[in-house]
Structure 1
Amino acid sequence: MIERLVPAGVAGAEAFDDVLPHLPDHRELALVRGRPDRVVRQFTAARACAHRCLEVLGAPPGPLLRTAGGAPAWPAGFVGSVTHCAGYRGAVAARAPVWAALGVDAEPALPLQHGVLGLIASAGERRMTSRLLGERPELPWDRLLFSAKEAVYKAWYPAARQWIGTSAVTVAFTTGGLLTAEVRPDRTPPPPARRRAEDGGTVWAGGVAARYTGRWHVEGGLLLTAVAVPAGAPTTAPGAVR
């Protein structure tokens, strides 16, 4: 699935089970010590996908640990994103001189629980999903919207180091598999105190802070969304202060 979404220069790897090509690094396992076995297996299988991407790109070997914000700590000179859900584990990675940011998210291809769409979508996005549902009723457009916002956040946070809520991300789809998104941090509620202390990143004065393009795909009971930002592209708009 993932090869349908990644552009040239981006390595992708995926797995539909938790069979590992080799034993996981003990330093990575320490990140999930004490968690349920199901979580550990998903985590290590997703990390194995990330390592396959990095090997393809010629990155030096080593553990893929975490940043202070909880995201994977990619080796210097590389960017990437990891995802996992029931029945799927995947990762994308690229050289930073070619691609500035990546985000990928996988979800079961099922509608969201009743009431969730109203919590994550603007009025315009709700109208969009209703229209698309009329055009292609076999697809869970509400879940695709949620997934796209997750993928955008994964691309946004490593660069901006600022927590944003789903209301800060506005997504538009085409029925042909494309998506676009804008981030407006001023539309998100104030973050929890813990996140304020961790982030310490950019403060936005208002307006569109970043724009993203990407793709979506649904197959075999799973859906996948991904965004990619070329290096040198203006990932953020004027109005930011540090």
Structure 2
Amino acid sequence: MIERILPDTVITVADASSAPVTERLFPAEEALISTSVATRQHEFRAVRLCARQALTKLGVPVAPILPGLRGAPGWPTGIVGSMTHCRGYRAAALAHATQLLSIGIDAEPAEPLPEGVLEAIARPEELTRLRALTAQRPDVPWDRLLFSAKESVYKAWFPLAQVFLDFSEASLTFDTEGGFTAEVLVPAPLVQGRRLTGFTGRWLVAQGLALTAISVPHAA
């Protein structure tokens, strides 16, 4: 489903099955979850199996996908990508680095955020924008979409900037037609001769999920 908001250059593999994952991963991956609860093990394996399928479709040998700095997935050389999982859904979106600079995806349940979370992640101007959006489209869980989009922003940002980006350090603006923009409010790194001052992305609410995606093109 998340492939609907990503370009054709991205290979996306998603899984909505709730069946336990019995296939084992590489030993180095299994070691990361050896003491985790069963739910965590299931999600970890399921999303990496999605990533394996995407790598295969890209013609890249399957290899362990281990977390690097700040937990960012360590993709094979020449690959960019992003993974996400939530209750009842997980997905991996990958592309050759010659086609895109970075990808960020996120999936969340399409329901309101727990009490207090919105105030913790949203900037004052974003709260104002969300109130206006809610008046226009009360059927959309705008608070959850904001959370999801900020996750996608971070996932797209970190591989390029290599520095942490807090929720308060990006200001997001949504439209009601499935798009959003993110203005980064910290000093922007230079990437391919241009400042990484923000992103454009897409959002989708369908089948009980709030989905967001960002694909960062190469400089023209």
Name the TM-score, length of structure 2 as normaliser. 0.91
Matches of 1:110 and 1:61 in 2, distance apart?
35
Amino acid at match of 1:143: R
Aligned equivalents of 1:49 and 1:102: distance in 2? 16
- Equivalent residue for 2:8? 8
Point out where structure 2 has 5 or more consecutive residues left out of the alignment. Answer: none
Q: Deviations over 1:194-219 (max 9, x none)?
A: xxxxxxxx69xxxx842111111111
Partner of 1:223: 210
Contact 1:18 1:41 in 2 (8 A): no
User: What are the within-5 Å matches in structure 2 for residues 15-34 of structure 1?
Assistant: 15-19=15-19, 20=21, 22-34=23-35
- Render the CA deviation track for 1:145-166: whole Å, top value 9, x for unaligned: 0110000001111111111210
- Residues 187-226 of structure 1 correspond to what in structure 2 (within 5 A)? 209-226=196-213
Aligned residues: 214
Bigger shift: residues 60-69 or 159-168: 60-69
| Counterparts of 2:58 and 2:118, CA distance in 1 | 38
Aligned equivalent of 2:182: 181
* 1:54-91 CA distance string (max 9 Å, x none): 11111122111121321110000010000011111111
Runs of 4+ in 1 over 3 A off after TM superposition: 18-23
How many angstroms apart in 1 are the aligned matches of 2:69 and 2:122? 28
What fraction of aligned residue pairs are identical, expressed as a percent? Answer: 44
Q: Quote how far apart the aligned CAs of 1:2 are.
A: 1.3
1:143 pairs with 2:130: no
Contact 2:24 2:30 in 1 (8 A): no
**Which stretches in structure 1 are left out of the alignment for 5+ residues?**
187-201, 234-242
Report the aligned-residue RMSD.
Answer: 1.8
| 1:33-182 map, 5 Å | 33-182=34-183
Q: 1:226 and 1:110 mapped to 2: Cα distance?
A: 18
Q: Distance in 1 between matches of 2:162 and 2:34?
A: 26
Q: C-alpha displacement at 1:138, in angstroms? A: 1.2
Deviations 1:104-127 (A, max 9, x none): 011111111222222211121111
